[in-house]
Amino acid sequence: MSEFRLTTVEEFEAATARLLETGAKVGADSWQARVKNQTPHCKFGEEGICCRICTMGPCRITKKAPRGICGCDVHGIVGRNYLKFTAGGAATHSDHGREICHTLYEASADGCYKVKDPEKLIRIANEWGMETEGKDIYELAHEVALEGLMEYGKPFGTQRFLKRAPESQQKLWEENELAPHAIDREVSRSLHMAHMGCSSKPEALVKQSIRAGLSDGWGGSMMGTEFSDILFGTPKPIETEANLGVMVEENVNIVVHGHDPSLSEMICEVADSPEMIAYAKEQGAKGITISGVCCTSNEVAMRRGIPMAGNFLQQENVVLTGACEAIVVDVQCIFPALGPLSKCFHTKFITTSPIAQMPDSEFVRFDAHTALEKATQIVKMAIENFKNRKPELVHIPQMKQKATVGYSTEAIVKVLDGVTNSQVDETGTTKPLLQCITSGVLRGAVAMVGCNNPKVRPDLAHIELMKKLVANDIIIIASGCSAQAAAKAGLMDKRAKDICGDGLKRVCELADIPPVLHMGSCVDISRMLVLAATLAKDSGLRISQLPVVGCAPEWMSEKAVSIGNYVIGSGLDTYLGVDPYASGSSEMLEILTNGTREWCEAAFTVEKDIDKLGDLMIERIEEKRAALGI
């Protein structure tokens, strides 16, 4: 076996520097250059103390001008901005979930989309009290999808999936009016509350932020995850690779980027067909390589083992290799910069969703009815573009790591059954995992999630924190760009067990898992909620008592704030490495870092010193253990 070692951030950076040299040759712009142009950032914006929600403003709060023209103080302004930020994220995740509901609604035995996990479909139909006996699977898919779509606009009642939480959590939500109603209503109520002349009381604004977040986590995102599993299969452990070295010089390289697996799944399906491979050969290539960037990459990696070319701040790098025939995108986290950048190379930048339309792209509108036809058109465009490569610009950094991915909640429960000597639990509970935790073999778990952000040296926080935590016998579950940072470093290679503490190392050996478990995309953080809920129910504890915390050290998007709100709203303390534009208000800071405990038994910690952030998480996990007497 070849010698294993982690790839360092310095090596990532050297590879990027080499690619930027190519960029400089062709006059390409880069995020690294734009960061310089944008620094220093506006202080008012950074502290959240600028209000522009009515045209009497914009109003900026200073010592001399402590109130806006309407009389709103700094706490109200920061609070409203925070709520709007959250609503943006909840809307985005949830609308993704809605698209998946529509795809499921369109699934048919002879259509583009099929049901790959009928068992999960039946399980959810039963969970929702629907009649399943004697029904055709597609009739049932249709009904479940419709029922899911109703969750967005139903006039009465709260989200159906809230019932998955332990009763103690449900009670907290009821008592504190945090239980989310229809998803769209929570988003629009947030915008209503943050309108000029509505709420300016920080408590009310944060409470609504949590409720809107919960409508995402236990609503839109959870449907996004579950229905994607029904359509494309529930992930199981699978081997793949990560980092730019997964692109293959002799092949047509198609990079999928975005979030909605309806597109990427279909592209993978088509690119795998013998006709397309033959066509690629006809055009002078050896074959076709699909790789991914951002969350859609996580989706197809988890289900198909499609390699991950990189995470958020690596999206320009795939074009800079000069070997990318097409970067095909759907929605979210796509740099508009890809338009002008692709023009410097032969790369086709193909947008596909009316939701994410960008200048300098070729728009191929994608929908469930024409999915196969459009995916074929896109793959052909890429193949025919192979001959337009400029060989002198081609350079793919030969850097990649192996990764075992595909750890859905179902898969985690299954693999950890192998750890203890207890009989395999046929109902598939989390008891073996709980035994590892109570015995102290594992000290706890951290859910590492979120983006890259140039404000933090990209990937360093994710990787360093993970190394520190696993060395302390804390298992990591990861998603989104955090998971990809781990995979690129080698932390999802099973051989990474050697950098763990003795307890975690033993668990990795017995269960044959890497110390960092890839749970999927950002909507798949709903898997983490289900796992936490199951752990709490199986142990008879409240979620907030579990030695488990969440962490987003490099986050940047509105979606990440929505996630943060639902993670604390679900009882898990959350550790942030980037400030959520709230530092301008002492009252908002106090509520976010402490006050929310009263409603949901968890709060945020913001700490930009990454080493300290790690210490604080370990401390918190040990505190929780001590409180339980374990």
The two structure tokens encoding residue 572? 């898990």
Question: Where does this chain touch ligand BF8 (CB under 6 A) — which range of 159-167, 225-233, 400-408, 554-562?
Answer: 554-562
Binding site for [4Fe-4S] cluster: residue ranges? 42, 50-51, 54, 59, 70
Q: Is 256 in the site for ligand BF8 (CB under 6 A)?
A: no
Asked whether position 59 contacts ligand SF4 by CB under 6 A, the answer is yes
- At 152, give phi and psi (nearest 5°): -80, -30
Residue labelled with tokens 């986290």 = 333
If one asks whether residue 54 binds ligand SF4 (CB under 6 A), the answer comes out as yes
Q: How many CB atoms lie within 10 A of CB 197?
A: 9
**Closest to ligand SF4 by CB, 130 or 196:** 196
> Does 196 contact ligand SF4 by CB under 6 A?
yes
Which is closer to ligand SF4, CB of 59 or CB of 536?
Answer: 59
- Where does this chain touch ligand BF8 (CB under 6 A) — which range of 227-235, 354-362, 365-373, 556-564? 556-564
How many residues form the binding site for ligand BF8 (CB under 6 A)?
14
Q: Does 550 bind ligand BF8 (CB under 6 A)?
A: no
Contact flag: residue 560 with ligand BF8 (CB under 6 A): yes
- The conformation of residue 6, written as its DSSP 8-state character, comes to P
* Residue 217 is a binding residue for ligand BF8 (CB under 6 A): no
- Residue found by looking up tokens 């951002």 in the block: 294
584 binds ligand SF4 (CB under 6 A): no
CB closer to ligand BF8 out of 213 and 450: 450
- How long is the chain? 630
Q: Over the Cα atoms of the chain, what is R_g?
A: 24
- Considering only CA atoms, which of 321, 89, 109, 350 is closest in space to residue 220? 89
407: contact with ligand BF8 by CB under 6 A: no
Stretch that binds ligand BF8, among 465-473, 494-502, 538-546, 553-561 (CB under 6 A): 553-561
Work out what residue 553 binds among ligand BF8, ligand SF4, none; the CB cut-off runs from 5 to 8 Å by kind. none
Residue nearest to ligand SF4 (CB): 68
Could you tell me how many residues of this chain bind ligand SF4 (CB under 6 A)? 14
Options 120, 304, 505, 559; binder of ligand BF8; rule CB under 6 A: 559
> Does 222 help bind ligand BF8 (rule: CB under 6 A)?
no
Position among 230, 323, 461, 481 found at the interface with ligand BF8 (CB under 6 A):
481
3-class DSSP assignment, residue 289: strand
Work out how close the CB of 85 gets to ligand SF4 at its nearest, in angstroms, rounded to a whole number: 15
**Token pair for residue 558?**
């509105």
CA dist., res. 276 & res. 286, Å (int) = 11
| Angstrom distance (rounded) from CA 491 to CA 502 | 16
The beta strand positions in 438-556, using DSSP E, are 444-448, 474-479, 516-520, 548-552
112 binds, among ligand SF4, ligand BF8, none (CB under 5 to 8 A by kind): none
Partner touching 266 among ligand SF4, ligand BF8, none, CB below 5 to 8 Å by kind: none
Select the binding partner of residue 627 from ligand SF4, ligand BF8, none (C-beta < 5 to 8 A, by kind).
Answer: none
**Considering the rule CB under 6 A, would residue 72 count as an interface residue with ligand SF4?**
yes
Contact string 287-326 vs ligand SF4 (x = CB under 6 A): ----------------------------------------
Does residue 255 contact residue 92 with C-beta atoms inside 8 Å?
no
Q: Is 65 in the site for ligand SF4 (CB under 6 A)?
A: no
CA distance 149 to 127: 16
Q: Compute the half-sphere exposure of residue 345: CA atoms within 13 Å on the CB side of its CA.
A: 33
Alpha helices in 109-232 (DSSP H): 118-127, 137-153, 167-175, 183-193, 202-215, 221-232
From 480, 515, 550, 569, residue interacting with ligand BF8 (rule: CB under 6 A): 480
Binding-site partner at residue 72 among ligand SF4, ligand BF8, none, CB < 5 to 8 Å by type? ligand SF4
Nearest of 165, 102, 240, 141 to residue 520 by alpha carbon: 240
Kindly state whether residue 546 participates in binding ligand BF8, applying the rule CB under 6 A. no
Q: Which of ligand SF4, ligand BF8, none does residue 480 bind to, with CB < 5 to 8 Å depending on kind?
A: ligand BF8
Q: How many CA atoms lie within 13 A of 47 on its CB side?
A: 16
- 451 part of the interface to ligand BF8, by CB under 6 A: yes
Which helix (H) or strand (E) element contains residue 326? strand 326-329
Residue indicated by tokens 């009290």: 129
| Single-letter residue type at 318 | V
Q: Which of 14, 24, 42, 56 binds ligand SF4 (CB under 6 A)?
A: 56
Select from 34, 43, 52, 192 the one that contacts ligand SF4 (CB under 6 A): 52
Measured CA to CA, the distance from residue 90 to residue 221 in angstroms comes to 9
C-beta of 313: minimal distance to ligand BF8 in Å?
8
Q: How far is the CB of 440 from ligand SF4 (least distance, A)?
A: 52
Least distance from ligand SF4 to the Cβ atom of residue 44, Å: 12
Instruction: List CB contacts of 3: < 8 A, sequence separation 6 or more.
Output: none
Q: How many other C-beta atoms are found inside a 10 Å radius of the C-beta of residue 376?
A: 19
Helix (H/G/I), strand (E/B), else coil: 36 = helix
Minimum distance between the CB of residue 481 and ligand BF8, rounded to whole angstroms? 3
The three-class DSSP label of residue 420 is coil
**Residues 482, 370: Cα–Cα separation, whole Å:** 33
Which residue has 């990474």 as its token pair? 496
Residue position matching structure tokens 């975005």? 258
How far is CA 219 from its chain centroid? 15
Q: Quick check: 263 binds ligand BF8 (CB under 6 A)?
A: no
In angstroms, what is the minimal distance from the CB of 205 to ligand SF4? 13
Residue 481 — left, alpha, or beta (φ > 0 → left; ψ -120 to 50 → alpha)? alpha
**Dihedrals phi, psi of 418, to nearest 5 degrees:** -75, -10
Q: Which stretch binds ligand BF8 (CB under 6 A): 464-472, 510-518, 557-565, 584-592?
A: 557-565
Distance, in Å, from the CA atom of 599 to the CA atom of 209, rounded to the nearest integer, reads 13
* 450 contact choice in ligand BF8, ligand SF4, none (CB below 5 to 8 Å, kind-dependent): ligand BF8
For the CA atoms of 274, 276, 277, 279, the dihedral, rounded to the nearest 10 degrees, stands at: 120
Closer of 68 and 397 to ligand SF4 (Cβ): 68
List of residues contacting ligand SF4 (CB under 6 A): 51-54, 56-59, 68-70, 72, 77, 196
Which residues sit at the interface with ligand BF8, rule CB under 6 A? 259, 294-295, 312, 333, 450-451, 480-481, 521-522, 557, 559-560
